[in-house]
């Protein structure tokens, strides 16, 4: 049953993102929230940002699995199942690759369990603001071996975390538990290159959602990688991060990068 702490009458980032990607697992309240966003920024622009971010996720997973030998992935704030999910990409490199999806919206688990094709993919309902609830969960211990390298993915989630909640603190909790050779992947909406009017439209769309919208500069986003060494090409616009033949929308809304723990 859905968690009553996240009522269906309140829009959530996971369902709003699903709608922006032309998914099917959202409600009228999410569509209304996105309509506010489309009115202020333009529907094509918002959908392009969502797609750019999704394709960045795919390239990160594929590269870490195929070229860096990562066989364990923690997808934090994973959102609803949609195109080319993390486990599908990772398991193309190795069918034994393990993926744990984590989201605090219980609707994600309800819809996502259909993805569970074997023992190597699971979904955990937990809030990344409380890292111990993820790190110490039985589902995590059953699937993830922190004595071996793991990739922790925070894709388009930290712009829902306030300064008081401290994204760097959250990343540090996972870094401290991870083995050397582990990775972190992050994408984040940025105030750099985003006009103030567009920022206000994003913030207005999420003001009644379960999480607010928080913009950060490139320098602030870079600070979240503390303790990791950014791999090439560094913290960049996601569409420039190891582009492939699939292509990607080219926006100035986001920064993305991947760091390695020594």
When computed from its CA atoms, the radius of gyration of the chain, rounded to whole angstroms, is: 17
Predicted pLDDT at 117 = 58
Predicted pLDDT at 178 = 98
> How far is the C-alpha of 16 from the C-alpha of 12, rounded, in Å?
6
Strands 229-230 and 151-155: unpaired
Predicted pLDDT at 63 = 98
Predicted pLDDT at 4 = 44
Predicted pLDDT at 111 = 72
Strand order in the sheet with 183-189: 121-125, 98-103, 72-76, 151-155, 183-189, 254-260, 229-230
Predicted pLDDT at 132 = 97
Predicted pLDDT at 155 = 97
Q: What are phi and psi of 64, to 5 degrees?
A: -65, -35
Predicted pLDDT at 83 = 66
Predicted pLDDT at 1 = 35
Cα atoms in the 13 Å half-sphere on the side-chain side of 153: 30
Residue 147 φ/ψ region, left for φ over 0, alpha for ψ in the -120 to 50 degree band, beta for the rest: alpha
Measured CA distances, 139 to 28, 69, 95, 125, 182 (Å): 32, 23, 19, 10, 20
On whether the pTM is more than 0.85, the answer is yes
Copy the structure tokens of residue 150. Answer: 């793991």
Q: What are phi and psi of 255, to 5 degrees?
A: -125, 150
- What is the mean pLDDT, run by run of 10 residues, along the chain of 262 residues? 56 88 87 92 94 96 98 92 84 95 83 70 93 96 97 97 97 98 98 92 86 95 98 98 93 97 95
Among candidates 123, 215, 134, 197, which has minimal Cα distance to 170? Answer: 134
């Amino acid at each position: 049953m859905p968690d009553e702490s996240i009522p269906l009458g309140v829009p959530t980032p996971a369902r709003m993102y699903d709608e922006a990607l032309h998914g099917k697992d959202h409600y009228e309240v999410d569509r209304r929230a996105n309509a506010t966003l489309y009115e202020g920024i333009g529907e094509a622009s918002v959908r392009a940002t969502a797609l750019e971010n999704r394709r960045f996720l795919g390239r990160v997973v594929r590269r870490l699995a195929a070229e860096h030998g990562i066989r364990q992935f923690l997808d934090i704030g994973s959102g609803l199942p949609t195109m080319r999910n993390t486990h599908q990409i990772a398991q193309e490199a190795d069918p034994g690759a393990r993926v744990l999806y984590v989201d605090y919206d219980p609707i994600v688990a309800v819809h996502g369990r259909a993805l569970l094709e074997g023992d190597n993919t699971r979904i955990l309902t937990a809030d990344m603001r409380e890292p111990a609830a993820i790190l110490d969960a039985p589902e995590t211990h059953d699937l993830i071996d922190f004595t071996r390298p793991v990739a922790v993915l925070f894709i388009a989630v930290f712009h829902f975390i306030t300064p008081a909640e401290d994204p760097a603190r959250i990343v540090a909790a996972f870094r401290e538990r991870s083995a050397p050779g582990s990775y972190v992947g992050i994408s984040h909406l940025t105030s750099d290159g985003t006009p103030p009017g567009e920022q206000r439209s994003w913030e207005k769309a999420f003001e009644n959602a379960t999480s607010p919208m928080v913009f950060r500069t490139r320098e602030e986003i870079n600070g979240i990688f503390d303790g990791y060494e950014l791999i090439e090409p560094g913290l960049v616009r996601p569409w420039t991060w190891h582009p492939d033949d699939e292509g990607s929308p080219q926006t100035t809304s986001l920064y993305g990068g991947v760091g390695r723990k020594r």
